[in-house]
Structure 1
Amino acid sequence: MPGRIHVSHHSDVPVYRQIVAHLSFMIEAGDLAPGETLPSARLLADNLRINRNTVARAYAELASLGLVESRGRSGTKVLDPGPERRRAPEHTEARRVLSDAVDRCLALGVSPDAVRSLTADLLARAEPVGIDVAFVECNADRADAFARDLQEHLGTPVRPLVLGDLDPEQHPADLVLTTFFHLAEVRALWRGTGSEVIALVVAPHVRTLVQIASVPKDRTVGILYSTEDQAASIRDSLAQSGIDNVAVLSSPDDPALASTDLVVVPSETPELRAGVEGRAEIIEFGNVLDAASLRTVTQVVADLRSEPAPTAGSATTPRP
């Protein structure tokens, strides 16, 4: 099967999209039957002389289209595209039109490899240019919450990813977003993948700061987050603002809660609020994405959509 796929490194259509176009047509045309196993990402990459991450990304796209399914050690299996896609009259007519076009190209003296390259290029160009964006955080709730905010602002899907539970080879992306707190770690993970990594400023909601600042100095404020590191980070940022009557709580069962007048919990984790409800006054700590950061990311996404994709395996020049 690898010998039937051809990609062009000179096209401005991303190589992974060329692979998706090839395999989609082969599956829907019946050239690849349901249950067949696609070659491993490493094997296909070696045959095509491209980066393995490029093939992994193409397979992930095919999976999102419902054409293949990863089954762990059993490999990536072809799924039944469904009768409406497999036997539709439009597909039969399209096959006839393409067959006539291929015959005409060959009669003109165009080589089979060139015909395959041209076909993949035209198919890929016909698809809207999508940007694969991921947001990385150390906490699943925060990753989900900020990914939703970014998706709404950018108008493009944003995948939430959690540090410590991911492999960049399994999560390729054009653009990886994170907070400044995790920038060094995220850059190290994605180094050499060709992904662009940008840090965003995440600031506490003004309403939250006003509520906390209004707490009398003789009252103790508890900080309860999913991890003690996050709670400590919030405590330190409040201390820099002159609010020092703050204690970190390890859990809703922390004995220190008994001497705490007010508890700050993250707005994205209602289960923490439920754990202390009725035992202390509660303030939800809401975070917002910095407006300047959002403008920067919006411009980067626009640039990525308009720029030709780099050749597979090539390095990209980091933005200042």
Structure 2
Amino acid sequence: MRKRVPLNAIRAFEATARNQSVAKAADELCVTPTAVSHQIRQLEEFLQVRLFIRKNSRIELTTEARNNVHQIGRALDLINEAIAALEGSDYDERRRLNVAASTSVASFFLMPRLYDFTLRAPDIDLNIRTFLSRKEAEEQEMDIRILNWQSQMECQVEPLVEEEVVPVCAPAVAARFGNDPREILKNAPLLHVDRANDGLDSTYPDWARYLAEYGISRSDLSHGARFNQAGTSIEAACAGVGVILGRSLLIEDALQKGRLVRVSEPYPIRSPYFLQSPWKSTNKESIQRFKDWILEKVRSNGLVHAI
């Protein structure tokens, strides 16, 4: 006889562990954060095991929870598949492809193009997962990851694109300084993105490195609005708050629509992106179809430089 388990509580735990956030789990499950917290406490009482360590506003999985969360996720996937089969769906005729990308790359690079993929591959259901850190990206079980670092995981790694980093601002900001690149770089407010310290390439430029490269000196390099995600910094730049070091994968649409303009030359070192996938997978055909599609999109894109 199977032990009766609280499935709703298990779903709340798995969603919180995967998102590393009670609030994000609540959004995914369409409930309140309070309800998610209650379900987790219920599961902890049921198991007599602590699942999370709460540190101020952050939560971390305990060792016991970390060792089992992936198996729980797979079990929930199996339940979903079984329910789909009972509903008489065409699940067996379709394929699910799990793709991970940073929040910014998913929003600004993938999303504008995904409709085209759904037209070309109507038999594949995409499952897009976003991450904010290297640790979060590599802990997820994915068919494809889009990364801007060389992972040490045992996976197939293929070059995707090289990304330019170039100063951009709203047209009104450029006009305020006479559309003069040096005047803009010397006097316009600077916007900053605080990148997670995940061992990424130390040559990735910040304002100090960029301005030094082009011989421009400023005493206020540490001033200006700061953001923890590139997406919000792009919106701030479009709104005229200041100048950002724009990443070509993310600013393409804003440049095409005239919401942003280039201020000066790009940084001389480009940042590479890679496609990472398992060496062995039962989903190999779908993985290859997605790779072929995204590489074609990269090659046909004038602002993104294929490796």
The TM-score with structure 2 as length reference comes to 0.38
- The TM-score normalised by the length of structure 1 is 0.36
Structure whose alpha-carbon radius of gyration is higher: 1
